[in-house]
Structure 1
Amino acid sequence: MSDKIGLREAMSIGIGGMVGGGIFAVLGLAVSIAKGGTPVAFLFAGLIALITSYSYVKLSLAYSDRGGTVKFVNEGFGQSTFSGAINNLLWVSYIIMLALYSSAFGSYAPNLLSLTGDRALDAHLFSSAIIIIATLINYYSIKVVGAIESYAVIIKLVILLGFVVIGAYGLLGNENLPQLSPESWEAPFNLLVGGMVIFVAYEGFELIANAAPDIENPKKNIPKAYYYSVGFVILLYIIIAIVTVGSLPFSEIASAEDYVLAEAAKPLLGQVGFTIITVAALISTFSAINASLYGGTRVSFEIAQDDELPHELTSNLWNQPVGLMITAVVTLIAVNTLELKSISTAGSVGFLLIFAVVNFVGFKKASAINGNKVIPISGFLFCSFALVALIVQQYGDNPTGVIVAVSVVLICFVMEWIYKRSEAWKRKKSRE
């Protein structure tokens, strides 16, 4: 019996990675920035993801490895301080995504159960509790993590597709429909920035790269897995944004920013719809936390094996890599000290930079990977421009998020430089 996975399973990895907790966490944030142009903001972000997926297709075919992005960066820049810093940033970006998903879980959970009567306090309690529970599950059994993810992908897609179908029907004659007209759009620059702030909702497609060695008929199925999954999610997000903006006045979206998707179900299905979407959000964010904990731990392990982090990270703690505990603890700190907007900004900055680097590797290695140079360099330029635009706009509107994001990048580079210097010094001393 073959251990290979087909196109459907490969697509489910990409779709499951993207449609995790991101859309539940950042939809309200996107509307607050782009207003009626939110569907266009999601389109902007999706197009950058789609262009970047070309580089991932070519690199996945040429350098098929479970290290995925880590492998690609090392192929492009060798095991240098730069590659080590970018790969470290990938690990930290996983942690930021974990904080985002946990924050979303904490925002939706009080809709079903109040612990203290203080919604803000309840949110932090739920966010912290779900991280601890997911960590214990990861320590207990990786198979359980896989089972949770496989069922969660089906449940959340069924509910979201149901929301889209019913919501699209419910838009007919809705008094809030004019909010989607171009008169309600923000300026083009703000639409771009709105898309970049919520770019984290698309980042999961790169997980296909980690599964590339296990995909059957790779020359045919790997390109389809990337393009079909990203294209499907772009369409899904745009329709969800249309339904949300067309169903609720902006004032209600603002007041329910952290759990707006559940609120958008109320005009269509009443309290039942609100509860169903809340449950879908909890399932989606929980599965995303489980999967990201596992993914982040694997990234730290791979980086340590490549001598870009201390080898102690390849050692085990209770039969799991010690990176699992580090990832969980740092996530707990982040989710209890940062606001959702700052977390989202930091995550988007991290992945835009990482994807810019991967696109540059695709351009640099075009001959070796039998690729086109124009698409990867376009992806590099788009990611770079979007990154600068995001930082410039958010510095005026959300300086804390920008400071956190820039600090994370700088820390990754400084720590890798210090580590490389210390390792060189140790090798020198051992030869003397």
Structure 2
Amino acid sequence: MAEEDGELGFLGAASIGLGGMIGGGVFSVLGVVATIAGAAAWLAFTAASLVSMAAAYSYIKLNQLSDERGGSVSMIEAYVGNSTLAGMVGWTLLFGYVGAIAMYAFAFGGFAERLLDVHSVLGFSARPLLSALAVGGFIALNVVGAKATGTTEELLVGLKLAILLAISGWGLYYGWTVDQLEYGFGHLTNTSFLTAVAISFVSFQGWQLVMYDQESIKNPSKNVPRAVYVSILGAIVVDSLVSILVTSLVATNVIANHPEIAVAEAVRPFLGGLGFVFVAVAALFSTGSAINGTLFSAAHFAKGMLADGLLPDRFGDAEQEGVPTQTVLVIGVAAAAFTFYGSLQGITSFGSLAFMVVFGAMSYLAFRQRDAEDVSAFVPAVGMLGTATLLPLLLYRLYTEQRSVFVTVVALTAIVVGLEVLYFERNTLEDGLQTVENRI
């Protein structure tokens, strides 16, 4: 009977995954990817989605082979039996979600700044303030228990899809009539293309939220795989169409200077200022719902880690009904600080690195199960090799061309790993210190 108990059907589950990926791809990271890959941005998104699809296959197969459903942490505990490793992966995911929320908030602030035509407040840049206020607003909504229902999410995602597909179709037709469409096949041999693939990777993590909501999905063994695959395919189509539109109709310098609003700029040639406003409003709804959904799911994910003893008690109360208030506050404040002080390039790079590590690890776990029935060795291998190739390329690009971003990302990574080691190996460290004290 457990297969029938959930509240969300296939469409609701697919909307959870697709909603975040649209907010991440089209309205958040597209401008950054287009700045690097040019007209080949759509190919970069497609390549990243294929690696993400391989990771999704790995998650699904591990779920099917295991007696307990869940995401990365549950699977590592089930197949490796190492709670320390599971906890470290969980922490890495949480920091990745903080980066994703910050990325959505960055885009939200950029669109809000243009719509309100306010560029500074009390001497401070308006964009960071608006981004932080957006996160604060959704923290408040989650604390009081407000969250979009599955039906509402279906309607929101359906509306976003309709708007984006209509605009893309109209814009691509316009681009074809004026002979401006570019496809970027000549950029495939550039190392910058692979870097763009790596950076766009963060936009394809939204499907993972479906894995953590399995208890609320009807017939999860059937609907979860379908929802994950359909949401990724939907994101590929939307990202590709909008990418071609943006890189064909928006000047390179405009994309580079204002990557967070590149999509809205793309409609100016055929819809004028009204089109810009229309897309900007849609972007606010899209990135806002992505902030809300990711914050809610990340808090529930953290609640599970609290219950398993993989997070300190100060992070929240695992016994609290609904979303733990303190957990929401910690995640939200961290994301607000990140979006206030960070650059869009730094935020997206950090998020991509975090999800590459976790997705690569899960692909490796699935590859180890390649002798099991119905588990392909090839698909998890694509996930492993893809993430293992893209991760060092992204770091190398940042080191050679954006040294300050590289330093920031490496520093954040070192802090995250250091905190993980201090927490999970605290007993070993305490014993070592006690031994040294006794000898002294």
Question: TM-score with structure 2 length normalisation?
Answer: 0.88
SS in structure 2 of the partner of residue 141 of structure 1: coil
Q: Please list the CA deviations of residues 6-33 of structure 1 after superposition, one character each: whole Å capped at 9, or x if unmatched.
A: 3222222221231124421111111110
Matched, 1:357 2:361: yes
Distance change (3 Å), C-alpha of 1:193 and 1:64: farther
Q: Aligned AA for 2:190?
A: P
* Partner deviation per Cα, 1:21-52 (whole Å, 9 max, x = no partner): 44211111111100121111111111111221
Deviation, structure 1 residue 150: 4.4
Three-state SS of the structure 1 residue aligned to 2:206 is helix
The amino acid that maps onto 1:371 is: V
Task: Measure, in 2, the Cα distance between the counterparts of 1:147 and 1:111.
Answer: 31
Q: Kindly tell me: are residues 400 and 264 of structure 1, through their superposed partners in 2, closer, same or farther at Cα, counting changes over 3 Å?
A: same
Measure the CA separation in 2 of the matches of 1:71 and 1:408.
25
Structure 1 window deviating more from structure 2 (235-244 vs 110-119): it is: 110-119
- SS of residue paired to 1:104: helix
1:82 aligned to 70, 85, 90, which one?
85
Does the CA-based 8 Å contact 2:108-2:283 persist in structure 1? yes
Distance (whole Å) between structure 2 residues aligned to residue 208 and residue 275 of structure 1: 32
Q: Percent identity at matched positions? A: 28
Deviation at 1:330, TM superposition (A): 1.1
Q: Indicate the residue corresponding to 1:109 in structure 2.
A: 112
Query: How far is 1:143 from its partner?
Result: 3.6
Q: For 1:127-276, what aligned pairs fall within 5 Å after superposition?
A: 127-144=131-148, 149-177=153-181, 179-183=182-186, 185=187, 187-276=189-278
Aligned with residue 406 of structure 1, among 410, 423, 432: 410
From 18, 23, 30, give the equivalent of 1:20.
23
CA contact 2:346–2:405 (8 Å) conserved in 1: yes
**Structure 1 residues 274 and 66 mapped into 2: Cα distance closer, same or farther (>3 Å)?**
farther
CA distance in 2, matches of 1:342, 1:425: 32
- 1:325 deviates by 0.8
Alpha-carbon contact 1:208-1:226 (below 8 Å) kept? yes
> When the two structures are superposed, what TM-score results if normalisation uses the length of structure 1?
0.90
Residues 1:3 and 1:37: Cα distance change in structure 2 (over 3 Å): closer
Instruction: Please report how far the alpha carbon of residue 323 of structure 1 lies from its aligned counterpart in structure 2 after TM superposition.
Output: 1.2
Contact 1:3 1:214 in 2 (8 A): yes
SS at match of 2:341: coil
* Equivalent position to 1:94, from 81, 92, 97: 97
Moved more, 254-263 or 351-360: 254-263
Shift of 1:369: 7.5
Give the Cα–Cα distance (whole angstroms) in 1 for the partners of residues 280 and 219 of structure 2: 39
Unaligned runs of 5+ in 1: none
Once the two structures are superposed, what CA deviation does each residue of 1:54-75 show, in whole Å capped at 9, x if it has no partner? 1022123334757422212322
Paired positions, count: 426
Q: Determine if contact 2:5/2:217 at 8 Å carries over to the other structure.
A: no
Structure 2: how far apart are the matches of 1:48 and 1:94? 19
Per-residue CA distance 1:368-425 (angstroms, 9 max, x = gap): 6752223212311111111111111121122333333333333333222222333468
CA distance in 1, matches of 2:5, 2:311: 35
1:301 is displaced (CA, Å) by 1.7
**1:281-302, Cα deviation, whole Å (9 max, x unpaired):** 1001111111111122122222
8 Å Cα contact 2:17-2:209 kept in structure 1: yes
Contact 1:50 1:227 in 2 (8 A): yes
- Which residue of 346, 358, 363 corresponds with 1:342? 346
8 Å CA contact 1:82, 1:413 repeated in 2: no
Instruction: Give the equivalent residue in structure 1 for 2:40.
Output: 37
CA distance in 1, matches of 2:190, 2:219: 42
Q: Which residue of 1 aligns with 2:436?
A: none
Task: Give the whole-Å Cα distance in 2 for the aligned partners of 1:25 and 1:156.
Answer: 14
Q: CA deviation at 1:240?
A: 0.9
Q: 2:57 touches 2:380 (CA, 8 Å); kept in 1? A: yes
The answer to whether the 8 A contact 1:145-1:290 is kept is no
Letter in 1 for 2:231: S
**Whole-angstrom CA distance in 1 between matches of 2:219 and 2:303:** 28
Q: Which residue of 1 aligns with 2:299?
A: 297
Q: Deviations over 1:154-189 (max 9, x none)?
A: 322221111122122112233533x43545x36432
Structure 2: which amino acid aligns with 1:46? S
2:164 partner letter: L
Task: State the SS of the aligned residue for 2:205.
Answer: helix
8 Å contact kept, 2:128–2:341: no
Question: Is contact 2:63-2:69 (8 Å) kept?
Answer: no
In 1, Cα distance between equivalents of 2:256 and 2:314: 46
Residue identity opposite 2:418 in structure 1: V
CA separation of 1:302/1:133 partners in 2, compared to 1, >3 Å: closer, same or farther? same
Instruction: Please name the residue that 1:332 is paired with.
Output: 336
